Amino acid sequence: MYRQERRAQVLRQAKRLFARKGYHRTNISDIVARSGIARGTFYLYFRNKRDLFEELLERALAELKQRVRRIRMGQLEPSPLDQLRANLSRVVEFVLAERELTDIVLNHATGFDHELDSKIAGFYERIVTQIERSLELGIEMKLVRKCDKRAVAHCILGAVKEIVGQLTLKDLHHSESLVDEILSFGLQGVARPELLVDSKRDVVLSARGQATDAALARQ
């Protein structure tokens, strides 16, 4: 288990450095110096610098994957909204606990090489698909309006990524209100609800938005 401790120490230090300086500006010298091991020892634990980075990345992705669960229907399940909220809450929790890892995923894991890029892309793709499925489900359940599910899924993912990216920079603790704010935004957008309902039409914003303009203009 001693071995594992050392390894963990290296991972920990590398994580800090990658988060602060990015992959290319972090060098093995930095890592081994911080980790208190010799240069050569590094290569007993990791095949090379890239592998170490990949491992960190995969840990983050695996953890996140696990925290974003499929929305399940059923009498025994919490309401879909609660499941949604729980997902988001778990993600925010992770982000706050692992700011550096999050920073790496969001800011330093991009444009690396084909393999890693695919890994990241696959991860996000999976998330987007999950969101898409949830939207579909929502539409079936008549909770969600009709929309370009894929585009909207990306919007949701983007909103979460951005908020979460901001979180890594600030000294915040987990706040449910933030999660709710994100949820509210995703669910109802920013317009005052009253403006969105119209006796004659289901969805106000449509036909290149002219109707909406009219509705809004009526105010």
Interface residues toward DNA, by CB under 7 A: 2-3, 6, 26-29, 37-45, 48-50
Q: How far is the CB of 11 from a second copy (least distance, A)?
A: 19
**Which stretch of DSSP H or E encloses residue 8?**
helix 2-25
- Segment lying near a second copy (by CB under 8 A), choices 28-36, 48-56, 57-65, 137-145: 137-145
Contact 133, 70 (CB under 8 A): yes
With CB cut-offs between 5 and 8 Å by kind, which of a second copy, DNA, none does residue 40 bind? DNA
| Sole binder of a second copy in the list 29, 107, 118, 129 (CB under 8 A) | 107
With CB cut-offs between 5 and 8 Å by kind, which of a second copy, DNA, none does residue 49 bind? DNA
- According to the binding rule CB under 8 A, does residue 137 interact with a second copy? no
- DSSP secondary structure letter of residue 141: T
Contact 137, 79 (CB under 8 A): no
Q: Which of 69, 54, 44, 60 is nearest to 117 (CA)?
A: 54
Q: How far is the CB of 42 from DNA (least distance, A)?
A: 7
How many other β-carbons are positioned within 10 Å of the β-carbon of residue 17? 20
